[in-house]
Copies of this chain bind each other. A is one copy, B any other.
């Protein structure tokens, strides 16, 4: 197979590069809002600069609907802090030693401190959210945050559960991942007082983009190249996480094949894709997940019709196109 192997996404955020740096500085400033004894821990987990997708979406929504304001920076900081808090807690649960090349908080200071650190970040983010005059903004942020937690609970609970349905899976990743994307783009528009239809359309764009982003991440875990992805892959199945391609595969599997997979999952045996490839149509299942995600991107793109032409609208389209191309590189290895 000569297709390039899919890599970690590097989103086309050039248009808002400078604004993202302002957000970055504002996130650093937030560490200082904590008790001096706590500040160092907060600064550490905030520094490991991620892709800042949620801030980018909030800023772009601002740019596309009348202009980015100080409120868009605040929204960006809040959503990223909620995201960082959830990562701090994820790393405890996964026993992860590093994240983006740095030791995780859990590895450095143990899980007790990391539980509290995540809590403190989360509480501070929601405290900042109360500073918006529009209480709907604060409420939406709190709801999205609850969705992130509930989605993670569902995922933890449904590990190793071969009865997980595709709609269950989609609801789970909408809560776990897409809710914050949707809050970013939807509220980014709302802050500019757009008509309700525009806010809803951008909310929906974010929800769809977030869902696709998670499906891409799931496919990457199965077929990606570790060096290019910049992280350990092939871990979802060993952890009992059933993702979209695997669910499609299960739909095609015979009862005997399902039983075999079930036994292996329950034993907690590490599972490589070679084993999957022996069950039903593995390649076809990856392809089906890719197509599902690409169709959803087309829907996300269609939501943008309510926006007047602008470099920001174009950037929203580019992000969808970029993920579309990345998905196209996902082929069973």
Residues of A within 8 A of B (CB): 34-35, 37-38, 41, 85-86, 89, 92-93, 111-113, 115-120, 122-124, 126-127, 129-131, 133, 135, 138-139, 142-143, 145-146, 148-150, 152-154, 156-157, 175
Contacts and interface: CB of A to CB of B under 8 A. Distances in A.
Contact of A120 (B41, B123, B138, B150): B150
A36 to B, nearest CB: 10
Nearest to A152: B116
Q: Is the interface of A mostly helix, strand, loop or mixed?
A: helix
B89 A116 contact: yes
B149 A120 contact: yes
Contacts of A145: 123, 126-127
A121 to B, nearest CB: 9
Contacts of A116: 89, 93, 149, 152-153, 156
Contact of A153 (B86, B120, B133, B138): B120
How many subunits of this chain does the assembly comprise? 2
Contacts of A135: 130-131, 133, 135, 138
A61 to B, nearest CB: 21
Contact of A124 (B35, B146, B156, B157): B146
Given A38-B153, A113-B156, 6 more contacts: A35-B150, A37-B153, A93-B115, A93-B116, A116-B149, A119-B122
A115 B115 contact: yes
Contacts of A37: 153-154, 157
Contact of A118 (B119, B138, B154): B119
Given A38-B154, A154-B35, A154-B37, A139 B113 contact: no
Nearest to A168: B37
Closest CB pairs A-B (n = 5): A127-B142, A123-B146, A120-B149, A130-B139, A93-B112
Contacts of A153: 35, 37-38, 41, 113, 116-117, 120
Contacts of A130: 129-130, 135, 138-139, 142
Nearest to A113: B156
Give the interface centre of A35, A85, A130, A145 by most chain B CB atoms within 10 Å: A130
Contacts of A138: 130, 135, 138
Contacts of A129: 130, 142
Contacts of A131: 135, 139
Contacts of A113: 153, 156-157
A71 to B, nearest CB: 14
A37 B158 CA distance: 10
A150 B112 contact: no
A92 B85 CA distance: 17
A149 B124 CA distance: 10
